[in-house]
């Protein structure tokens, strides 16, 4: 469920006409519905309530500070994978005591940042990382709360590029080596081994892989406790999928997921940590884009829009499917055409949909690319020197820009000519213009 619906022939985000936002802010622009963020968080929290969960929103899905702050006020913690995400989560009001620092490539500086902040735990993913973390913790005179992320060698049966729990994936400690590595880590003075972490992938539409992974985690916890390690936390990751509109299979409700948790690890007496991302923010956002022109080919019709793969990478990156709709509601029985929806980027992969059936569209029409709240703006780039697009958060009839559009002038202002190229005339002319527009 989301809160984007037609009223009087126009698509609204909650109580705001998307056309009003487009006129005021320009396109492309991401728009998020607060009501959807809150609802999705509460549905998950209610399903897991009997387990007294620690729900740490996966910031990588959507790192906008307004989105994070909205969820923090609902009680969410944060799962972060970089020093930048940690800083953002703290700035959004997430208590450090509800932040988990994950990721396969943490630097020593990031480890120190996390320990100084006092995060709940650090999820380590290799022996070298454990050794470095021990050194950093000893230097600071603290013990680092650590959970080892284990790779249970479970196939999540999702897209290859978003599977993370198989033997050949880069994430986590190999299942067969986990017992030995825990024993080694227990001897390091700077580490406090508090738990076990697991995450097998993203966009799962079946709870069976979760059950299989959680059963393996249960066995490992029993083994570690037999060795005298007081395992206190279980980080079960995220990964529950959302309906994008084309899967052909139903996405399991959070209640089914909660049942799988209860029946596999619910009696271990551990603090249970969850890292949902996509399931909370995915359907809470749309990418609003304007039609530039209709291009008629010999066999295909192209609808060229002003959003590009730099704004929403998922379709180009792994063939992700997003529903595309007109902001003005089509009339029943009207003309429908099969079109390819493409962007302005100089890449053949810059397309949002091929062979899509749309009502007749014209130059200047607004389109909404749905289910774009997760891994949309968070993965955007300035490829082709295109400014990063703004983000808008809606709450009822109120709306606000929560991320300004990044101007080309600002992008140029951060660049410098090397000394051997001298003072280029073009660069000299650009500088005053940048200063003038900023003022």
Rounded Cα gap, residues 47 and 280, in angstroms: 14
Cα 266–Cα 272–Cα 276 angle in degrees, nearest 5: 115
Sheet of 4-7, strand order: 4-7, 10-13, 16-17
Residues facing residue 361 across a β-bridge: none
Which residues are CB-neighbours of 136 under 8 A, at least 6 positions away?
108, 111, 112, 115, 144, 190
Helix or strand holding residue 381 (H, E)? none
List the end-to-end C-alpha distance of the chain, in Å, as a whole number. 43
Residue 361 backbone class (left: φ over 0; alpha: ψ -120 to 50; beta: rest): beta
- Residues with Cβ within 8 Å of 124's Cβ and at least 6 positions away in sequence, in order, are 130, 133, 146, 147, 148, 149, 185
Q: How far apart are CA 254 and CA 278, in angstroms?
A: 13
d(CA 321, CA 202) in angstroms, rounded, equals 15
Question: How far, in Å, CA of 139 to CA of 33, rounded?
Answer: 45
Alpha-carbon gap, residue 286 to 309, rounded angstroms: 15
DSSP class of 201 = B
- CB burial of 279-299 (b: ≥16 within 10 Å; e: otherwise) equals bbbbbbbbbbbbbbebeeeee
Contact between 86 and 117 under an 8 Å Cβ cutoff? The reply is yes
- CA distances, 336 to each of 10, 164, 305, 358 (Å): 18, 40, 18, 5
Active site residue 346: yes
Task: Name the burial class of residue 427, with classes exposed (0-12), middle (13-18) and buried (19+) by CB atoms within 10 angstroms of its CB.
Answer: middle
Q: How far apart are alpha carbons 46 and 49 in whole angstroms? A: 5
Query: Which residues are annotated as catalytic?
Result: 346
């Amino acid at each position: 469920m989301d809160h984007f619906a037609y009223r009087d022939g126009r698509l609204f985000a909650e109580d705001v006409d998307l056309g009003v936002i487009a006129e005021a802010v320009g396109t492309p622009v991401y728009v998020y519905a607060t009501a959807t963020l809150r609802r999705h968080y509460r549905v998950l929290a209610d399903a897991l309530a009997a387990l007294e969960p620690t729900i740490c929103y996966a910031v990588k899905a959507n790192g906008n500070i307004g989105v994070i702050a909205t969820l923090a006020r609902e009680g969410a913690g944060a799962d972060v994978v970089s020093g930048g995400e940690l800083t953002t989560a703290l700035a959004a009001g997430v208590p450090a005591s509800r932040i988990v620092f994950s990721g396969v490539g943490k630097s020593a500086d990031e480890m120190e940042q996390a320990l100084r902040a006092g995060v709940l735990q650090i999820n380590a993913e290799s022996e070298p990382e454990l050794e470095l973390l021990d050194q950093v913790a000893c230097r600071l005179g603290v013990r680092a709360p650590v959970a080892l992320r284990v790779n249970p060698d479970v196939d999540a049966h999702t897209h290859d590029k978003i599977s993370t729990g198989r033997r050949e994936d880069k994430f986590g400690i190999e299942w067969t080596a986990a017992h030995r590595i825990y024993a080694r880590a227990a001897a390091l003075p700077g580490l406090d081994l508090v738990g076990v972490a697991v995450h097998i992938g993203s966009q799962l539409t079946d709870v069976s892989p979760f059950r299989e992974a959680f059963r393996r985690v249960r066995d490992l916890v029993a083994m570690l406790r037999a060795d005298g390690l007081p395992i206190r936390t279980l980080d079960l990751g995220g990964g529950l999928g959302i309906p994008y509109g084309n899967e052909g299979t139903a996405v399991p409700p959070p209640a089914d997921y909660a049942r799988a948790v209860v029946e596999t690890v619910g009696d271990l007496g551990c603090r249970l940590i969850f890292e949902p991302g996509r399931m909370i923010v995915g359907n809470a956002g749309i990418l609003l884009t304007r039609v530039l022109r209709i291009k008629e080919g010999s066999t295909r019709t192209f609808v060229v829009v002003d959003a590009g793969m730099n704004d929403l990478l998922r379709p180009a990156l792994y063939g992700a499917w997003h529903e595309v709709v007109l902001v003005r509601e089509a009339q029943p029985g009207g003309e429908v055409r099969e079109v390819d929806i493409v962007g302005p980027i100089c890449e053949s992969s810059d397309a949002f949909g091929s062979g899509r059936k749309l009502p007749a569209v014209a130059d200047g029409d607004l389109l909404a690319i749905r289910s774009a709240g997760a891994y949309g703006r968070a993965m955007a780039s300035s490829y082709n020197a295109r400014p990063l697009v703004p983000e808008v958060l809606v709450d009822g009839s109120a709306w606000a820009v929560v991320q300004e559009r990044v101007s080309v002038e600002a992008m140029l202002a951060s660049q410098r000519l090397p000394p051997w190229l001298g003072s280029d005339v073009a660069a000299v002319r650009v500088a005053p213009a940048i200063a003038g527009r900023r003022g």
